[in-house]
Structure 1
Amino acid sequence: MQHARTRRPAASHWLAALAFLLCPALALAQVKIGLVLSLTGPAASLGIPARDTAAMFPTEIAGQKVQYIVLDDASDTTQAVQDTKKLIDEDHVDAIIGSSITPNTLAMLDVIAAGQTPTISLASSAKIIEPVDEKRRWMFKTPQTDAMMAGAIVEHAVARNVKTLAYIGQADALGETFYAEVAKAAQQHGIRIVANERFNRTDPSVTGQVLKIVAANPDAVVVGAAGTPAALPPRALKERGYKGLIYHNHGVGNRDFLRVCGADCNGTFLPASPVLVAAQLPEDYPGRRLALDYISRYEARYGALSVSAFGAYTWDAGLLLQGAIPVALKSAAPGTPAFRAALRDALESTRGLGDTNGVVNMSATDHLGLDAHARVMVEIRDGKWIYQPPH
């Protein structure tokens, strides 16, 4: 889509032109939304459903044309920063959605703060938005935090009399931050961590790390990884005859992961977005109706069983912007610093907004706005997610 050209009014219509200039809401400039997504590389299974969901976004909001500019960060932090700079400095976007993964989003923080551009991350770490300081005041997110999900894992493990725990995670910001939350929750519940291992997203094998874990004989293992690379640890654990519980990070909520992991993931658990099991939830569960609506729209376009949590997180980011853009338009025109600031303020003032994860109530200190209803525990069985009601 080409950039909109400013219309020059005829001299006989100077009064109309003056009214146009004095009323930002009537401006013809498009709202521009940039998306930094992991469309290639190890995290592609997260970014592709996000891109496909963005293709379903409205092209007009509150009477204003909206342009979406999608860039691939290739699952790489340096590329994510370059993409962000391009969107801000060259494309002059009003807001950004992305990145798909924690390391990339954290790398984008300085650029976003310097450019004062409101951004909605699709990644998990609480460090993306906490604390809401001068840098993070421009950053929001839609996925549940790692703290919320680590807590769900440990609560589930406690109910199954787990006393010892091992951790294997990616050797990046996601793996480190998720481990910190798992360790904190485990300590609070008297669970001892007996092994702590790392692997790279591009590693072909985790045999060495798994041998150390099996030797420690934990009651349960937590895998802190996202996308298809997260299939390596459960596969290696099953090959070594491990019989304990296996938990995943919520970064595996897509069917590409189920396909790659196959039977090795049968009987494993993960805390997940309600969208994965929306049809199995009680009728009055928060977010169920909107989750089913999103699933219906997505699968009508991309095929049955194609939905993933990462597409849903993107849909929720779109809902946030659809609520905030009309508010910002009342005070400033798109393409201006004033509009970006007004959009940031409108996002932070979001209250009672329903999305696929529940109800969003943001504040000056909470740029996620979700409660515990936004997480559910599911079991993987024969390539399906099965809802596990709380005991």
Structure 2
Amino acid sequence: MSLAAGLASPHATAQIKIGAMVSATGPTSAIGIPQRNTVSLLPSSVAGQTIEYITLDDGGDTTRAVQNAKQLIQQHKVDAIIGPSTTPNALAILPIIAEAKVPLVSTVGSQAVVEPQDATKRWVFKTTQNDDLIAEALVSHMVRAKVKRVGYIGFNDPFGEGFLKLLPGLLTKNRIELVATEKYARTDQSVTGQALKLIAAKPDAVFVAAVGGPAVLPQATLRDQGYKGFIYQTHAIATQDFIKIGGAKVEGTVLAAGGMLVFDEMSDANPIKNVTARYIRAYEKVYGNRPATFGANTYDSGILLQYAIPDALKKGAPGTEAFRTALRDSLEAQKEIVGCQGIFNITPANHNGMDKRARDLITIKDGKFRLLGESKVAL
């Protein structure tokens, strides 16, 4: 789908302001840095209207995220916000977003930020694959791999809880037993106790629900303790830092994530590849290296806003509630919008709008993310 060129509405006389919230420092900086960098690549004008981006770093801290959201809304009077980088921070700012009636295009993993739809979450959209889309792909791999017993370890926060709510039902449906459940904090330095309990339950596979570098800890500990079974991870580890930190201990990991992670293996016929190539070229030109897929969530947020802004300009001027409301309504009506992470079909009931085209089964082999395919089983 292409963006129709046009002139700004007579109502559009003020500059559009978009806030960006990132965790470019702190424990999730591997996520926040490419997101911060990507903001500079977003459109500087749409439909003849200039756009100003204001980026604030929360360091992964929930209190700072709340302060930043208030600053963007009250001081900078933004028309929309992209971000933040982490699920706890996103959930913390939802009441502020709803009260101010400012559209939020979230870049976090957990679908809890957009589901179930209610008066608060109707202002929130999301450009990362929902938990269920990822979990279903991983469980389907377990079935093909003849996994019968699964252990779980994940963050003791909304990201981990989201997967823990989904997993038992999916496993039971596929006649797989959940034999152990363990949790840990993002800042924990050891999970030896949890790993030993998991191993004692004798699972065929372990499902890890964690983010970035901290997701390495349980996997490395399990391997150090002699565990030989499958280890499944989510799209939240889709960064070279995971491989760099984990080394040989993350070889053979099975994950589900967007195709950008295995860009060189994507089919040229896939429309997502064309958009991804454009993003990668732009990022490499400015920063000299290929972006992590987390940056693509920010890039896709910019794409959605790019398509939604022209209609919103017809109904109000930037800086007004009428424009923000129209922008929210326009985002909710976007269809077949091609991004780097997937193709978006947003509805009032589904503010993510991604389908199976937004995920691939991937493994880590010889220190690289490699396409595994929906029908293949890792060896």
TM-score, length basis structure 2: 0.94
Tell me which of the two structures has the higher relative contact order, counting C-alpha pairs closer than 8 angstroms and 6 or more residues apart.
2
Show the counterpart of 2:292. Answer: 308
Instruction: List aligned pairs for 1:168-183, cutoff 5 A.
Output: 168-183=153-168
Show the counterpart of 2:142. Answer: 157
Show the counterpart of 1:376. Answer: 360
CA distance in 2, matches of 1:185, 1:373: 20
Show the counterpart of 1:297. Answer: 282
CA distance in 1, matches of 2:57, 2:288: 24
CA distance in 1, matches of 2:372, 2:12: 50
CA distance in 1, matches of 2:243, 2:291: 12
Cα RMSD (Å):
1.3
CA contact (8 A) 1:75 1:104 kept: yes
Instruction: List aligned pairs for 1:1-391, cutoff 5 A.
Output: 25=10, 27-304=12-289, 306-391=290-375
Which structure 1 residue ranges, 4+ long, deviate > 6 Å from structure 2? none
- Partner-residue secondary structure (3-state), 1:33: strand
> 1:98-135 CA distances to partner (integer Å, 9 max, x unpaired)?
11111111111111100100001111111111122111
The aligned amino acid for 1:217 is K
Cα shift at 1:58: 2.0
Distance verdict in 2 for CA 1:212–1:303, change over 3 Å: same
CA distance in 2, matches of 1:373, 1:132: 23
CA contact (8 A) 2:11 2:316 kept: no
CA distance in 2, matches of 1:382, 1:307: 20
Task: Give the gaps of 5 or more residues in structure 2.
Answer: 1-7
> 1:11-38 CA distances to partner (integer Å, 9 max, x unpaired)?
xxxxxxxxxxxx9546442100001111
Task: Give the gaps of 5 or more residues in structure 1.
Answer: 1-22
CA distance in 2, matches of 1:189, 1:118: 38
Show the counterpart of 1:16. Answer: none
Cα shift at 1:272: 0.7
> Which moves more between the two structures, 154-163 or 124-133?
124-133
Cα shift at 1:281: 2.0
Equivalent residues, number? 368
CA contact (8 A) 2:148 2:204 kept: yes
- Partner-residue secondary structure (3-state), 1:313: helix
CA distance in 2, matches of 1:231, 1:356: 25
The aligned amino acid for 1:375 is R
CA contact (8 A) 1:121 1:142 kept: yes
> 1:239-272 CA distances to partner (integer Å, 9 max, x unpaired)?
0111100011211111122211121111111101
- Partner-residue secondary structure (3-state), 1:287: helix
CA distance in 2, matches of 1:103, 1:382: 34
Cα shift at 1:177: 0.8
Cα shift at 1:286: 4.4
- Partner-residue secondary structure (3-state), 1:242: coil
Question: What percentage of residue pairs aligned between the two structures are identical?
Answer: 45
The aligned amino acid for 1:174 is F
> 1:317-373 CA distances to partner (integer Å, 9 max, x unpaired)?
000011111111111100000000010011001012111123211111111111111
CA distance in 1, matches of 2:191, 2:66: 29
CA contact (8 A) 2:151 2:206 kept: yes
Show the counterpart of 2:3. Answer: none
